[in-house]
Amino acid sequence: MGKKNSVKEAEKYLKNIKGLDGKSVINACKLVTFDIWYRNPIGARKAKKASQIKPDVDTIENIQIMVKRNISFWKKYGPVTKYGFTFGRKGYSKTVNAGDGDYLTYDTLWEFKVSKNKPTNKNTLQLLMYWIMGQHSRKSEFKKINKIGIFNPRLNVVYLLDIADISKDIINQVESDVICY
């Protein structure tokens, strides 16, 4: 994307992540700035450069707390069976032709949302769409998924919903009117 030596720079930050100490957290914060180039190259041009990222002591401590909460979360709800998953040709439609989820466990599709607020209807719609797209994908990893969940490590709260508790009418409406199968 016209940024010379960016891979070398990112590798330098990665090499300096050794654990959960302050120096490692700072390097992780710098490293994640490269993610925007993958997800939103237009927005990346306006984003701060890794060298400009200087988290303060409170931010570092908050990140350390959230990482510890993530570890505890996975001890209870894990193990992860798939992460960064997509839905293949059959899972997408002409209307929804992109999207990737966070994590799958044995029976749950998980998204992590770091926010001061409770999940929104957009967050739950996203998860329901992912579940539906997973079913349409015919990929084996989605066959046993019967719950959708959100974990917010900032609030240390888990939101979990059994697919059986969602009306068939809602599922059909999302399938036909939102994803447009």
pLDDT of amino acid 42: 82
pLDDT of amino acid 41: 80
Give dist(CA 139, CA 169) in Å, integer: 24
Residue 133 has pLDDT above 70, yes or no: yes
pLDDT tens by residue, 34-76: 888 777 888 888 889 899 999 999 999 999 999 999 999 999 9
Residue 179 has pLDDT above 70, yes or no: yes
- Label each residue of 72-135 as H, E or C: HHHHHHCCCCEECCCCHHHHCCCCCCCCCCCEECCCEEEEECCCCCCCCHHHHHHHHHHHHHHH
Name the residue type at position 64: Q
pLDDT of amino acid 2: 58
pLDDT of amino acid 32: 93
| Mean pLDDT (whole number) for 12-17 | 98
Q: How confident is the model at residue 1 (pLDDT cuts 50, 70, 90)?
A: low
pTM of this structure: 0.88
What are 108's strand-pairing partners?
147
Q: How confident is the model at residue 117 (pLDDT cuts 50, 70, 90)?
A: very high
pLDDT of amino acid 69: 98
55 DSSP 8-state letter: -
